[in-house]
Amino acid sequence: MKRVRIGNGCGFWGDNLDAPVRLAETGQLDYLTLEYLAELTMSILAVQKAKDAKAGFATDFIDVLTRLAPTLKAQPRLKIVTNAGGMNPRACAIQAKQVLAAAGLAEKRVAVVSGDDLLPRLDELLANGNPFNHLDTGAPLTAIRDKVVSANAYLGAKPIAEALKLGADIVITGRVADASLTVGPAAHEFGWGFGTTDLDRIAAGTVAGHLIECGAQATGGLWINADDSTHLENVGYPIAEMSEDGTFTISKPAGTGGAVNLETVAEQLLYEVADPARYFTPDVTADFTTVKLSQQSANVVSVTGGTANGITDTYKVSIAYRDGFMSAGTLVIAGPNAAQKARRSGAILLEKLEQAGFTYAHSYVEALGAGDCVPGVVKGEGDPPEVVLRVAVRDPRKAAVERFTKEFAPLVTSGFPGTTGYTVGRPPVREVFAYWPALIAKSAVTPVVEVV
């Protein structure tokens, strides 16, 4: 039976830069997927694009592609599918072409999947009866329309499969559902249909894509029982080897660290899932409760089942809007009584700001090391030798948040004994982009595929 090996070498923008090359060199892959876009990455990229028409994509990909060039030469059939395009997939593709040409790979065909960016059409779509109501609260988008910086539909695997059918060696997308980066190549290779045909196979492909989309989280990263013997310093990234019938294995390259077992795969199966019987993607609503896992051999888990639970006629839309400014800074407070001193220091810091005329819409003090990571739930035991004091504020006024960043250093001399750790200077102020999830009818969105 025909098998297709799809490996994911990047789980988010910021993931290990060497992983894609190592995975491609040793994974015997047909496809390398690279996933860069967290929920709010698009808003940051949208702001970058507004300042520079050639920006707005995950620039790490260009670095990774440069270093992948020798591998692409050695493995001429290896294809890459990535959402590195972010808010500007065409600009990303143009830079990718330049990198490829410089490496003697000008013959590589690069395709772009776009059509996800709804911001230019937002008012037209609103006027045509798409309210973009907040998925959780039901509030209409008009409440924050003037603050919106990005609005992207999560496209599915169909345009990726179409790009591959056009002979693309590298597919660069904007916002697509993470799992679709895997479903696209599988559907192309096996001729799976979209819409209502082959839905169970698309669902199985979605399970595979979901399992590998976060990179090493399927192969030992975050595993509850990871220890020194897991060798996470050499963790291998995940490979889904798909068969035409939708069954697949999860594995990692030989000789790497990490672990692929029933625990690592089960933990990742439910990661960031709400109702496991209804995992919504643009391609299918997948039922994860029909998935069966079995350990086939060391570091190889066989995955069967995974069925469709229908398909929606909507795309999810990820909208980001400006929502003020925030900053967070830290100091280290040594004991005795470290936790008590830290909490009081945080209160003093905020009191001094209040004396200066600044109160904040939101402020928060943590004594990290004394149980504040899950506040009130995990109780610290005993008197820790030191804790990290962390104070954070959020407010609509940028100047007020900037003033906050200047109130940490004074505590080094005017605070409690044992106050230290003011080593990185004033903390940065960042603009807050709040998240507004919504839905839109699939009929209102047209995915675009082009070879550049």
Partner 1 sequence: MANVPLSQIAHGRSGDKGNHANVAIIAYTDEGYLWLREHLTAEVVAAYFLPLAAACVVRFEAPNVRAFNFMLYDALAGGASRSLRTDTQGKTLALALLRMVVGVPTKLLSERNHV
Residue ranges binding partner 1 (CB under 8 A): 38-40, 136, 222, 224-225, 259, 261-263, 266-277, 288-293, 295, 305, 320, 323, 326, 328, 362-364, 366, 368, 372-378, 390, 392-394, 432-435, 437
CB of 259 to partner 1, least distance (A): 8
Closest to partner 1 by CB, 289 vs 302, is 289
The Cα 192–Cα 308 span in angstroms is 14
| Residue 224 beta carbon to partner 1: minimum distance, rounded to whole angstroms | 4
Is the Cα dihedral 348, 349, 351, 356 positive or negative? positive
Q: Which of 35, 5, 22 is nearest to 240 (CA)?
A: 5
CB of 289 to partner 1, least distance (A): 5
Min CB(276)–partner 1 separation in Å: 4
Which of residues 71 and 230 has its CB atom nearest to partner 1 in the complex?
230
Minimal distance, residue 37 CB to partner 1, in Å: 13
Of 323 and 450, the one with the shorter C-beta distance to partner 1 is: 323
Judged by beta carbon, residue 75 or residue 363, the one nearer partner 1 is: 363
- Least distance in angstroms from the C-beta of 155 to partner 1: 20
Nearer to partner 1, 73 or 292 (CB): 292
Q: How far is the CB of 376 from partner 1 (least distance, A)?
A: 3
Closer Cβ to partner 1, 72 or 320, answer by number: 320
Looking at the Cβ atoms of 307 and 419, the one nearer to partner 1 is 307
Strand partners, 3: 243
Q: Closest distance between partner 1 and the C-beta of residue 332, in Å?
A: 14
Radius of gyration of the chain from Cα atoms?
Answer: 24
Between 229 and 423, name the residue whose CB sits nearer to partner 1: 229
Calpha distance 41→443 (Å, rounded): 26
40/444 with CB nearer partner 1: 40
Q: How far is the CB of 409 from partner 1 (least distance, A)?
A: 20
